[in-house]
Each structure stands twice: as C-alpha cells, then as structure tokens.
Amino acid sequence: MTDTVHPLTAHERAHESAESRRGFLLALPAYLYLLVFFALPLAIVFVYSFATRNRTGGTDLSGWNLDSYGRLGDEIVTRVVMRSFGLAMVTTIVCLLLAYPFAYFVSTRRPAVRGLLLVGVMIPFWTNFLVRNYAWRVLLSNDGPVSELTQLLGLGETRILFTQTAVVLGLVYSFLPFMILPLYASLERIDGRLVEASRDLYASSWASFRRVILPLSRPGAIAGSILVFVPSFGAYVTPAILGGDKKPLLGSYIVSQFLTARNWPFGASLSAVLIVVMLSATLVYFRAGGRNL
Amino acid sequence: MTRKLLSLLFALGLVAAACGGSDDDASGEGESASGDAAACAAGQTDGDLAFFNWAEYIDPELLTAFEAEFGVTVTQDTYDSNEAMQPIISAGGSGYDLIVPSDYMVSILIESGDIAEIQKDAIPNLSNLSDEFASGLPFDPDATYSVPYQWGTTGLGINTAVVGDVPETWGLIFDPALADQFGGQITLLNDPRETMGAALKYLGYSLNTTSESELEEAKALVAEATTRLAAYESDQYDELLGTGETVIAHGYSGNFLVQFDEADNPDDFTYFVPQEGGTRWVDNMAVVADAPHPCTAHTFINFLLDAENGAALTNWNYYASPNAASEPFIDPEVLEDPIVYPQDQSKLEFISDTGDFEINFTDAFIEAKG
C-alpha cells in the first residue's frame, strides 16, 4: 500500500509543478507586457518626481529631493484637485443615472436584440477619441445643428460650446459605455427566478427592484463608477476642446508642468500622488463594496 | 526568485533591443553615425534626410525637388510645439538630422549641447540672408548653431465685419470698456509666455520681464480677461475666427493669413500687432548633435536658402523670409503685405528663455485662469 502511494504523490507533485510551469509560461507575455508598459514607465515617473529641474528646463537625475512634493500643498493645487473631483463626481453620477435603465432594458431583451444593442454601445469606439471630441465642437458651435434646432423652435441661439455643460456632456458621452458594459454584465447574470420569488412573496415591483435587483447589480455599478471616475478625474482632451481650458483641471495642470513650465519633477510628483491616491481609493472601494465582484 | 529576476532581465533586454533597433533604422543604410564627423562639403550628401519640422510649414513640392536633385529620400515628421520636440532631441538617438526650433528654444538647445555647430563652408547660400539675420540674433549671437528658416509675429486676428473699426490695441482683450461687448467671442493662445506677454506689453513692460510685481499686474489683467473669453485655444483659433464662432483671436500672423485666404469673404478679416508691441519670433534650422546624416542636413539648409526655394517657402506658408535674395521671387502681394512684413519692428520683442522664471510664468498663467 505504502509502496503504491509514495510514487503516486511524487507523480502528482511532478504533474502539479509542470502545470504551474505551463501556467507561468502562458502568462509570461502578459507579465512582460505589464512590466515593460506599466511597471517600468511608472517607476520612471516616481524616479523623476525626486529629481531637479535645471535652469534650461531639463531634468537633472541627481541631487534627489522632495521639493516637488512640497508644492503639492499649494492653494492652486488644492483648487484644481477639488474642481476635477467635482467634475468627475458629476460625470459619474450622470453616467450611472443614464446607464442603469439602459443596461436593465438591454439585459431583459432577447439575446439577438441584446447583441445588437451592445454593438450599438460600442460603435463610437470605432472612431478616434480626439475626432469624436472635435465632432462635438462642430455640433455645439453657435451655428451648429444643436443651435440651429433651438433657433428653429424659436428658443434662440444656444451657446453651449466652451462651457462646463459642454465638458460634462463630452465626458458623459465618452465614458458612458464604460458604465453600461459592467452594469449590463451584472444585471444579465441575475437569476430571474429570484425576482419571481420576491414577487410571489408579495413584494411590490419597487420593493423587488430595491431588495433584489439593486443589491445584485451593485458590483457592476461599482466597477462602472470606477471605470468612469478614474479617467474623468484626469481628463485632459475633452475639457481643453469643449471647455476651452478656461478653468484649469488636474489633467491640463499636469500637462502644463511638462509642456510649458518644463518642470518634469513637479509634473511627475503630481502624477505619482494621483496614481497612489486613485489606486488606494479603488482598493478601499472594492474591499468595502465589491467583495463578490 | 531567480525566475522573477530572469524575466526582469529578459524584459530589460527587450527594451534595450527595441531602443537599439530604432537607432539602426534611423541611421539608414549603415553610414557612420557620428555627429562630429569630418567636415561636409557643399552639396555633399551622406544618406537620407530625417527632418523634424512644424506641421504644415513647408511646401511638399520643395521636399520632392530636393529628393530629385540629390537622389536621397526625405522623411518628414512633424511637431506642434517646441516643448514637444525638445525632449525627443535631448534624449539623444532620435535619428533626426534637422530640426526647426524657435528662438528661445535654440538657446536652450545650445546650452544643453543638443545641436551641432553649423559648418558654414557647406552652406554657400548663407550669403543670401539679409544682414539682420546673417549677423546672428540674440538667442544665437554669432549665428553659430542655427540658420533662420522663417519669421513672423503674434498679434490679433479680427472679424471686422462684426467688430467694425477698432483701435489696434491689446485693450481689445484687456480693457473692459473695449472688450466687454465681445464677451464670449474672444480666444487667447493657451501659452503662458504669449498670453502673459500680451498683458505685459499692454502694461508697457517687456515680455521677457523677470520682475514678480510686473508679472502680478499682468496676472490680474489675464484673470479679468478670462471672464470674457470663449476659450484658450492654440490650435483652432484661426478656424474659429473664420467660421464666426469668435470675432477676436490671438495668434500667429501666417496662420491667420492662410485662414483669411480660405474664407468666403477675405475682406472681412484683418490681422495686426497691437500698437503697444508684441512678439516677434524666428524659427531656425539646426543640425541635431547626433545627426546620422549631418552633411545631407547641411545640403538641405543650403537648398532652402536658395533664392527661389526660399521664396517658394514664403509663398506657401505666408511667413516672412530671412532670405534677402529671395525677395524678387516672392509674390508681390505677399512681399508688400504689412502683415507679413511689418514696417515698424521697434516694439516687437523676441521671447527669450528666462530660466527658472519660466515656472513663474506658468504658475501665474494657471492662477490667472482660476
């Protein structure tokens, strides 16, 4: 008995380690990708944040110091961060309110219709992000289609371009699919029998939505909110093109450190702190609310 | 652990290979790629030209003509700001031979050792330059490192059909009595040096000031002007003016002229540098310090300094030529246009690099926005 057990476990062990080796080899391209295109650039950002700007705007990789981090408490930084935070919150909430009913509607259709609607959600991605933002500029301009329509209706010329409304509109438009898709995924997974059961137990349709569907779709709402909030917080292109860059936001503030002040260490320290804050906030959020994601 | 280390090393190897690979590509057909190579002779080429230039700044036919005459291929990549170009060149190994930095950027590139001395023997056409340009400009006092390409001014483009007859002053931006009526229809360049510079000029100061109190005054003006703006816009200011979205726009002379030319009613538009003065700028050709093909680069500079080729440049992009010999070949309406060739240059200033004070300019600009 012992004779047969021993060689078997050895064999199993060999099999197991072969499995894990194969797993590692399969994941190797992904590891390499993450290392070269994620970890390495990130490390460079962190290294630069401790360096010094020289007189000509180059970066001296010596005389390491924390000066750039000292500036993060400046009043202008706080103001820019709070403004960006507010904008990202508004964008996320508007996206959530728009996406939820739509995702619910899609998830309750026949599979063929579902597929069609989801393709519709993704069609805008076929066009470059920048081009779509410039298209909005045309749509919202003083003599653009939106303004012409309101004039036709006797409401007068609309001036939306270069306002905060235009920025929110552009951001919601750009990031809505990132809210719809995870919401749809979690709504579609809900077992219809649970809803039926709640109705059998005399729950009103509102109660069954609030007590059954909403909690079960929460992981999707959380994932979607993060996917929308993070890029909105650092958005650069949309506020510049549709907002006219009149009120500095975090994205344009960081860009101006690199491209006009040529102060790479400060730009890098802003980016580094942004990354750390977003990463820890995301982790906390996931732990608190999205355990079963 | 060793496995992790190995994969890390492998990744680093990949990165090194990728970098090395692009170097090989850039140096073309295996010519020696040393920057301080032996002297180039006039008309000598040592491989294909890798040209890094501003977008829409050269007539493509000039590139074709150069290719045909010298039997080399010209590859042109473009950039939209000096600051976008500089890090690529400063990193080294970019593979570019020739770049077109503006005035203040030339002095930065000289100081950082990123551009090579011009081999004047290889460019006989240097004699075509007008005296003012041949003798060197403040950013390169002895014309050792750069050769002027084109020059122009920064000022205001106006839709006269809407604005009417107005005084030529920066007050159109900064004086509420003049500017309030055009609220929401004005754009300013999204550039701290140009826009803070305009306010400084309006106040009667130098746009290269390093006085914090003068900059504070300018900041207050820009902050107030921001409330009247449609946008801070550095790319489409000319289109926005042309389509009627705005009526006053801050921008570069040549871009406005090209735009006015394309408008349905060119007579409705004008451009001027306000009477208080403004920015004058020169873009310059410079050979990259580690250029793989320095001789082709010098030959190309010489080619553009030819009288007829220099004129072709100006006739295409509507910027003024530093090339005196080219004047007979420049379209008369361009040559006589005071917008292209301003008569009074006494109040124009070059933007010069202010060193660490650049940070103050950027900070003041962002704080002025809010």
Q: Looking at the domain that runs over B153-280+345-369, which CATH code has it been given?
A: 3.40.190.10
Mean pLDDT of B332-356: 91
Indicate whether A2 and A88 sit together in one domain.
no
Sort out which chain A residues have CB atoms less than 8 A from B353's CB and list them.
56-57
Is A222 part of any domain? yes
Number of domains in chain A: 2
Q: What is the DSSP letter of B191?
A: -
CA distance to partner chain B, nearest, from residue A201 (Å): 56
Which of A192-196, B3-7, B276-280, B344-348 bottoms out in mean pLDDT, i.e. has the lowest?
Answer: B3-7
| Nearest residue, CB atoms, B229 vs list A24, A161, A244 | A244
DSSP state letters, B303-333: HHTSHHHHHHHHHHH--B-SBGGGGGGS-HH
Is A160 part of any domain? yes
Mean pLDDT of B329-335: 94
Find the residue in B nearest to A257 (Cα).
B362
Indicate whether A206 and A281 sit together in one domain.
yes
Give the CATH number, domain containing residue A143: 1.10.3720.10
A161 to B8: CB separation less than 8 angstroms, yes or no = no
Indicate whether A264 and A244 sit together in one domain.
yes
Both structure tokens of A272: 């580094």
Alpha helix stretches (DSSP H) within A108-163 = 111-122, 129-140, 145-152
Indicate whether A220 and A106 sit together in one domain.
yes
Helix (H) / strand (E) containing A252? helix A250-259
B362 to A261: CB separation less than 8 angstroms, yes or no = yes
The predicted pLDDT at position A290 comes to 53
Mean pLDDT of A56-75: 90
Taking each helix axis as running N to C, give the angle between helix A129-140 and helix A145-152, from 0 to 180 degrees, rounded to the nearest 10.
30
Helix (H) / strand (E) containing A207? helix A205-208
Domain B42-151+282-335: what homologous superfamily?
Answer: Periplasmic binding protein-like II (3.40.190.10)
B112 to A260: CB separation less than 8 angstroms, yes or no = no
pTM: 0.85
User: Which of the residues B104, B189, B245 would you substitute to probe the A interface, choosing the one with the greatest number of A C-beta atoms within 10 Å?
Assistant: B245
Indicate whether A222 and A105 sit together in one domain.
yes
What is the distance between the alpha carbons of residues A227 and A286, in angstroms, rounded to a whole number? Answer: 12
Q: How many other C-beta atoms are found inside a 10 Å radius of the C-beta of residue B237?
A: 28
Q: How many other C-beta atoms are found inside a 10 Å radius of the C-beta of residue B186?
A: 23
Indicate whether A20 and A157 sit together in one domain.
no
Q: Report the percent of chain A where pLDDT is more than 90.
A: 72
Angle at B41 between CA B35 and CA B43, to 5 degrees: 105
Both structure tokens of A137: 């500029």
Sort out which chain B residues have CB atoms less than 8 A from A256's CB and list them.
192, 362, 365-366
Mean pLDDT of B65-85: 94
Write the CA distances from A219 to A177, A224, B92, B296, integer angstroms: 16, 8, 48, 61
Q: Where are the beta strands (DSSP E) in chain A?
A: 52-53, 59-60
CA A42 to chain centre: 18
Q: Across-strand partners of B147?
A: B285
Indicate whether A23 and A90 sit together in one domain.
no
Mean pLDDT of B295-299: 97
pLDDT digits over B186-206, tens only? 999 999 999 999 999 999 999
Residue A291 pLDDT > 90? no
Indicate whether A222 and A138 sit together in one domain.
yes
Position with higher pLDDT, A158 vs A231: A231
Helix (H) / strand (E) containing A169? helix A164-189
Residues 217-256 of A with CB under 8 A from B: 240, 243-248, 253, 256
| Nearest residue, CB atoms, A245 vs list B83, B190, B355 | B190
| Nearest residue, CB atoms, B7 vs list A28, A53, A55 | A28
Residue A139 pLDDT > 50? yes
Per-residue confidence band for B27, with pLDDT thresholds at 50, 70 and 90: very low
- Comma-separated ranges of CATH 3.40.190.10 domains in chain B: 42-151+282-335, 153-280+345-369
Average pLDDT, chain B: 89
Mean pLDDT of A67-89: 94
Helix (H) / strand (E) containing B52? strand B49-54
Is A45 part of any domain? no
pLDDT digits over B214-248, tens only? 999 999 999 999 999 999 999 899 999 999 999 99
Is A80 part of any domain? yes
Of A242, A104, A143, nearest to B231 by C-alpha is A242
Indicate whether A99 and A5 sit together in one domain.
no
Indicate whether A34 and A128 sit together in one domain.
no
Is A43 part of any domain? no
Find the residue in A nearest to B239 (Cα).
A138
Cβ-in-10-Å burial (0-12, 13-18, 19+) of B177 comes to exposed
Q: What is the dihedral of CA A137, A143, A148, A152, to 10 degrees?
A: 160
Q: What is the DSSP letter of B168?
A: S
Indicate whether A91 and A159 sit together in one domain.
yes
Residue B16 pLDDT > 50? no
Indicate whether A10 and A136 sit together in one domain.
no
Residues 136-175 of A with CB under 8 A from B: 137, 141-143, 159, 161-162
Residue B15 pLDDT > 70? no
Per-residue confidence band for A151, with pLDDT thresholds at 50, 70 and 90: confident
3-state secondary structure of B280: strand
Domain containing residue A82: 50-289
The predicted pLDDT at position B28 comes to 37
Average pLDDT, chain A: 90
Mean pLDDT of B29-45: 65
pLDDT digits over B94-148, tens only? 999 999 999 999 999 999 999 999 999 999 999 999 998 998 888 999 999 999 9
Write the CA distances from A250 to A30, A136, A183, B366, integer angstroms: 31, 22, 28, 11
A:B CB pairs within 8 Å? 105
Is A67 part of any domain? yes
Which of A121-125, A239-243, A283-287, B333-337 bottoms out in mean pLDDT, i.e. has the lowest?
Answer: A283-287
pLDDT digits over B250-278, tens only? 999 999 999 999 988 999 999 999 999 99
Q: Report the percent of chain B where pLDDT is more than 90.
A: 81
Per-residue confidence band for B19, with pLDDT thresholds at 50, 70 and 90: very low
Is A44 part of any domain? no
pLDDT digits over A180-198, tens only? 999 999 999 999 999 999 9
The predicted pLDDT at position B10 comes to 44
